[in-house]
Structure 1
Amino acid sequence: MVFIYVLAAILLLIGLLLLDYALGKKHHLKNVRFLNFESTTGEYQIYTAGDPLFQDLFQDLRHAKKTIDMMFFIVKTDDISEELLEILKQKAEEGLQVRLLLDRVGSFRINSKIIKDLRESGVQFAFSETPKFPFFFYRLQRRNHRKITVIDGDIGYIGGFNVGREYLGKDAELGNWRDYHLRLLGDIVQHLQCTFFDDWYLATGHHDEEPFPTETEGEKWIEITATDGVQLEDVFESLICQAKDEIFIGTPYFIPSERLFKCLTDALDRGVNVKVIVPMKADHPLVKEAGLPYMMRLIEAGGEVYMFDRGFYHAKVVIIDQQLCDIGTANFDRRSLFLNKEVNTIIHNSRFVMDLRLAYLKDVQDSQPLKEHIFQLNTIRTKIKIGIARLFRPLL
């Protein structure tokens, strides 16, 4: 009898969670934030390792004269995180307007004492996407995955790096951290700032009228795509469907929608070379198993899948025909496609894309073809994990 009561309670809980998720999704779709930006001009510098990125970012922060607007998915409480927070406090004490916005779940380590110290120094602090009722379970899945820094309205940073020692390659288990991040100058920075303004408004109720004018001109065409768990699938589909020669995808989690997967197989059918890089190691449970069926199906259709084996691969990139590329915060998975807030850049510059393509192909050389390891994955244990992961795909 006790077993029946426990089973009934578990089934009731699952039913309530599914109902919460369904109603939360419906509410989300009715209240999607559309931020539409046209292509504009800018200049950019790419980082593929944490040390040079944080060195330049911290230097730009220390040289800030007027304002600092910063948002991250994850800021931890280790040495690199403490250094960042100390810089922000120092600049606020100098009289600058400093605002820090962090995702409530991703940055759960930032406690009330840290927040109090920031505010006493003059830093304006807020959490983004705090889970609350109604739809608590669904809101718990909805994360602000954006990473944006805007300094004096003139310098912008965007990309895949969060703030923590593992992003410097100092995690013993994950090892070297491979990622992409951009430093931007020019008019494009205003679009980054508008994206920050919208998230700051949602978190605090404070509305900024206009972004600060930039003092730097740019010559290259760039476009910001700020998505809210709806539009990203359209963005990726547009990129994939225009490919004539090659599609190179780099992502830590390859769990595409069926619609996007069909776009990839259609591209293969018309003779497009499709390559995907994923990490050999997984940093979250089930994400690798959730993606394996798609990777194997892609190989069967004629695509190539590589597992990066020189550390952890966290890059988020799509390269099309040596002509344009997409770099930002969005992974090629269901969470980025349908739940998270993300922000990406689409760069239309063949010279830059060619250099990025060479870096991508170097990562291919540092990877192992998945097809050479399929037999090792064909075990009962892996099959069970794949079956379990299939149930959780919408959350992965």
Structure 2
Amino acid sequence: MILLLSLLVLCIIAGLLWIDYTLGKKQHMKHVRSLEFDEQLGDCTLYTIGDSFLTNLFHDIQNAEAHIDMLFFIVKKDAISMELLHLLKKKATQGVTVRFMLDRIGGYRVNRAMIKDLKKAGVQFTYTATPRFPFFFYQLNRRNHRKITIIDGKVAYVGGFNVAKEYISRDPRLGNWRDYHLRVVGRVIHPYAAVFNDDWDIANGEQKHPIVKNTNEGNKEMRIIATDGPPLEQVFHEMIEEAEQEICIGTPYFIPSERLFQSLLAALKRGVHVHVIVPMKSDHPLVKEAGLHYLYRLRAAGGDVYFFDLGFYHAKVFIVDQKYCDIGTANFDRRSLYLNQEINTLIYDQAFVEEVRLSFDHDMQDSQPFHEHYTQQFHYGTKIRMGLAYILRPFL
């Protein structure tokens, strides 16, 4: 009797969650707020190692004179996170306007006492993407996954790194962390500022923003795309369709929509070489198993699949024909495609694309190729998890 009642309660809960998710999704589709901008000129530097990224970020923050706008998905309570918070408080006490925004779920480790301390020092703090009723479960799954820092309206950082010990390879479970992040200068700063301000307005209700200075540094053509779910699928689809020779995709989670997966298979059929790098290790349950279904089929169709084996692979990189590349916050998975707020930078500069392609080559050298016979070695537990992951792939 107790078992039947428990099953009944679970069914009711599952039904309520399904209704919440379905209605929340319909509401989201009616109010998608993606931002797309014209190409702008600028210059950019690529960081793939966390220590280099944070050293330069902290240096630019230290030299800030007027204002700092910062948005991260994850900041924790470890030593490197506390160093960042201390630096923001220090700049605020020096008279620099500091606006600091964290995703409500990703930033949950920043507690009330830490926030109170930030505000006491003069830092303006707010959470973004706070889940609310009536569609709490759906909004819980919709995250602001962007990572943007803008300093004095002259320098911006955007990409895959968050701030915690694992991102600087201090977590022994994950080991060496590989990611792709940009330091950007030039007129292209304007779109980044527009995206940050839009997020800040929604979260905080404020309409007064720092002025972004007009700087003419750099001659690289760049285009910023800020997506709020579904439009990202169209962006990736067009990139795949445009490819004539080669597609390179680096992602921590390879769980494409059926449309994108069929586009990749079609690209292989027309002679395009497709290379995909994913991590050997997994930082979340079932995400690796969900990807194996697609990776096996891609490999069987002639694509090259690699498992990064030097540590954890968190890059979000997409290279087309060595003509242009995309570096941003979006993963090649269902969450980024349909749920998350993301920001990506398309760069149309031959020399820079070659640099990114060289970095991708190094990633492949630090990886193990995926062979079809590997699937024959999967034990029973892995196959069960793969089946469960396939069912849950919209949430992964």
The interval holding the TM-score normalised by the smaller chain is: over 0.9
- Judge conservation of contact 2:256–2:332 (CA < 8 Å) in 1: yes
Distance 1:373 1:152, change over 3 A: farther
3-state SS in 2 of match to 1:125: strand
- Judge conservation of contact 2:249–2:277 (CA < 8 Å) in 1: yes
Deviation string 1:336-376 (CA, Å, 9 cap, x unpaired) is 00000000100001111112111111111111111166246
Indicate the residue corresponding to 1:41 in structure 2. 41
Indicate the residue corresponding to 2:127 in structure 1. 127
- Judge conservation of contact 2:296–2:372 (CA < 8 Å) in 1: no
- Distance in 2, matches of 1:63 and 1:387, equals 51
Indicate the residue corresponding to 2:90 in structure 1. 90
Indicate the residue corresponding to 2:56 in structure 1. 56
CA offset at residue 36 of structure 1? 2.0
- Judge conservation of contact 1:176–1:311 (CA < 8 Å) in 2: yes
CA offset at residue 65 of structure 1? 0.6
3-state SS in 1 of match to 2:392: helix
Deviation string 1:134-167 (CA, Å, 9 cap, x unpaired) is 1110010000000000000000000000000100
Deviation string 1:229-285 (CA, Å, 9 cap, x unpaired) is 121001101111000000000000000000000110000000000010000000000
Indicate the residue corresponding to 2:358 in structure 1. 358
Indicate the residue corresponding to 2:252 in structure 1. 252
**Percent identity for Structure 1 against Structure 2:** 55
What aligned pairs does 1:305-320 form with structure 2 within 5 A after superposition? Answer: 305-320=305-320
- Judge conservation of contact 1:89–1:118 (CA < 8 Å) in 2: yes
3-state SS in 2 of match to 1:100: strand
- Distance in 1, matches of 2:230 and 2:193, equals 21
Indicate the residue corresponding to 2:321 in structure 1. 321
Counterpart residue identity of residue 386, structure 2: I
- Judge conservation of contact 1:194–1:211 (CA < 8 Å) in 2: no
Indicate the residue corresponding to 1:282 in structure 2. 282
What aligned pairs does 1:258-297 form with structure 2 within 5 A after superposition? Answer: 258-297=258-297
- Judge conservation of contact 1:193–1:211 (CA < 8 Å) in 2: no
- Distance in 2, matches of 1:179 and 1:377, equals 30
Distance 1:211 1:301, change over 3 A: farther
Supply the RMSD in Å over aligned alpha carbons: 1.1
- Distance in 2, matches of 1:355 and 1:219, equals 16
Aligned residues: 396
- Judge conservation of contact 1:307–1:369 (CA < 8 Å) in 2: yes
Gaps of 5+ in 1: none
Indicate the residue corresponding to 1:369 in structure 2. 369
CA offset at residue 218 of structure 1? 2.2
Distance 1:373 1:55, change over 3 A: farther
CA offset at residue 297 of structure 1? 0.5
- Distance in 2, matches of 1:358 and 1:184, equals 20
Distance 1:210 1:307, change over 3 A: same
Compare 204-213 and 180-189 and name the one that shifted more: 204-213
- Distance in 2, matches of 1:40 and 1:156, equals 14
- Distance in 2, matches of 1:318 and 1:189, equals 21
- Distance in 2, matches of 1:209 and 1:157, equals 18
Indicate the residue corresponding to 1:65 in structure 2. 65
- Judge conservation of contact 2:143–2:340 (CA < 8 Å) in 1: yes
**Stretches of 4+ aligned residues off by more than 6 angstroms:** none
Distance 1:121 1:377, change over 3 A: farther
Deviation string 1:297-322 (CA, Å, 9 cap, x unpaired) is 00111101100000000000000001
Indicate the residue corresponding to 1:21 in structure 2. 21
- Distance in 1, matches of 2:251 and 2:329, equals 10
| 2:226 pairs with 1:226 | yes
- Distance in 1, matches of 2:282 and 2:376, equals 16
3-state SS in 1 of match to 2:33: coil
3-state SS in 2 of match to 1:179: strand
Compare 55-64 and 356-365 and name the one that shifted more: 356-365
Gaps of 5+ in 2: none
With the length of structure 2 as denominator, give the TM-score of the two structures. 0.98
What aligned pairs does 1:73-88 form with structure 2 within 5 A after superposition? Answer: 73-88=73-88
3-state SS in 1 of match to 2:36: coil
CA offset at residue 216 of structure 1? 4.2
Indicate the residue corresponding to 1:190 in structure 2. 190
Counterpart residue identity of residue 340, structure 2: N
3-state SS in 1 of match to 2:44: strand
- Distance in 2, matches of 1:214 and 1:52, equals 27
Counterpart residue identity of residue 357, structure 1: R
